[in-house]
Amino acid sequence: MRVFKFGGASIKDAPSVQNIQQIIKQFGQGQPLVVVVSAMGKTTNALEAILQAFWEGDDYEALIQSLQEYHTKIAQGIFWDKKNPIFEELAQYFQTLRQTLVRDTKTVFNELYDQVVSVGELLSSVIVARSLQHEGLQVMWQDAREIIKTDNNWREGTVDWKATQKCINKILLPLLKDKQIVLTQGFIGGTPDKKTTTLGREGSDYSAAILAHCLKAESQTIWKDVAGVLNGDPKRVPDAQLFAQLSYQEAAEMTYYGASVIHPKTIAPLREKVIPLYVKSFLQPQKSGTCINSVQAHKFVPAIMYKEKQVWIRWTHKDFAFLSEAQIGEILQQAHEAQTFVYAMHREAFALQICTDQRPEKVEKLIQATKADFTVVIEEGVELLTVKGGESAFTQKLTENRIKLWETQQANWYQAILRNQ
């Protein structure tokens, strides 16, 4: 049993969907297969714009119309019969979307976000599933909300592993015995009271890992528009090189510090069951890509990670006293409660500095919780550069023409907080 995950770029238009049909035919048959799909193209961004317009009281119908036309056009490029049921299915999803956009005194933005933005995966999954069926493949569409169970932590639902395993055993395993292929959605889950949750932005990789873990899959494959895991973003590192193999730990470190090719939560569920993760190109599916497993690889090139949209926060005690371990612990505890991840930290005699994501609501919560005792200064719009394995001259070249707010070199790790001049 295997799990395939296809992201938005791989299903952005009709030819792309037809391409993954061929990938599934060539590489996905012969044993049970679970296919996980993201929203098509930039659909998630479009749904966020629709929600924001609704929330601010602006007209959003034109935005919905544009998104509906986009999906309809993709379907028209696959299904020549204009009376195909797919078109009515899509119309129903958009009608449900319009009905979801209702606001009263009880409406919570983050909860509404999950109900609205999750529509993208539902739309893409039904188009891809029907297209595979149209090609004669035995495919069963499955609602991910019935099998991946979470709490109601909107926008970043925490998986209830016990409930999820039970649902997968009850619902998914029988389907895989009867059908060679089950297709479902990434990114979304469901609460015990049947409300939709999402697993965090770009969370479809994680969805696939959850399913692979619970199914004890032979492998998971993420199909990307790059050759595999590179030692740097090719848009910023022109001579980026492919890692043929990485260990779970190395891959997890890279995702934590900004390598966007894999969602950060993906590795742990696979590592626990020793399930190899393949990262391959849907543009060149014959190539081997990168294999992530338990074997420690011997790399000879540095790993370069950029983490954009960060904030650099500095705390100093209002009494200009030395910061004690207890006070540092208090700040970090508040950071934990605000759900802010600490990607870099620097302690001075009178100050503590951390780097975290530029998430205004979370950063504001952290500031409010600590400002009574500390003076807090924030530097927004910065970038964290992390390099593993690079020599000093190499790392200095990466920071040329940038303002360094902070840097550190420890063993084979280098980090710097940067902003443009």
Same domain, residue pair 314 and 220: no
Residue-level pLDDT at 179: 74
User: What is the pLDDT, as a whole number, of residue 214?
Assistant: 98
- In the structure, what pLDDT confidence band is assigned to residue 311 with cuts at 50, 70 and 90? very high
Domain end residue (candidates: 181, 205, 224) = 224
| pLDDT value of position 103 | 80
Lookup: tokens for 282: 């849907």
Is residue 219 domain-shared with residue 308, that is, in the same domain?
A: no
pLDDT at 30 over 80: yes
What is the DSSP annotation of 29-56?
A: -SS-EEEEE--STTHHHHHHHHHHHHHT
Asked whether the beta carbons of 230 and 281 are under 8 A apart, the reply is no
Does 267 fall in a domain?
A: no
- Give the Cα separation of 390 and 411 in Å (integer): 10
Tell me the average pLDDT across 48-64: 97
Please indicate, yes or no, whether residues 178 and 315 belong to a single structural domain of this protein. no
Let me know if residue 291 belongs to a domain. Answer: no
pTM of the model: 0.93
Last residue of a domain, one of 224, 243, 274: 224
Element (H, E) at 293: strand 290-293
Domain harbouring 374, CATH code: 3.30.2130.10
Per-residue confidence (pLDDT) for residue 286, from 0 to 100: 96
- The C-alpha angle with vertex 49 and arms to 312 and 197, in degrees rounded to 5, equals 80
Owning domain of residue 349: 303-420
Query: Token pair for residue 159?
Result: 């998986």
pLDDT band at 235 (very low <50, low <70, confident <90, very high): confident
Q: What would the pLDDT profile of 246-288 be if each residue is shown by its tens digit?
A: 999 999 999 999 998 899 999 999 999 999 999 999 999 999 9
pLDDT tens-digit readout, 145-185 = 999 999 999 999 999 999 999 999 999 999 998 778 999 99
Considering the domain architecture, whether residues 209 and 313 belong to the same structural domain is answered as no
CATH number, domain containing residue 16: 3.40.1160.10
Tell me the per-residue pLDDT of 329-366, one tens digit each, with 9 for 90 and over.
999 999 999 989 999 999 999 999 999 999 999 999 99
DSSP 207: H
Other Cβ atoms closer than 10 A to 117: 24
The verdict on residue 405 lying in a domain is yes
pLDDT band at residue 297 using 50, 70 and 90 as cut-offs = low
Q: Is residue 279 part of a domain?
A: no
Higher pLDDT residue, 401 or 210?
Answer: 210
Same domain, 75 and 185: yes
Which one is predicted more confidently, 48 or 80? Answer: 48
Report pLDDT for 410: 86
Mean pLDDT of the chain, nearest integer: 94
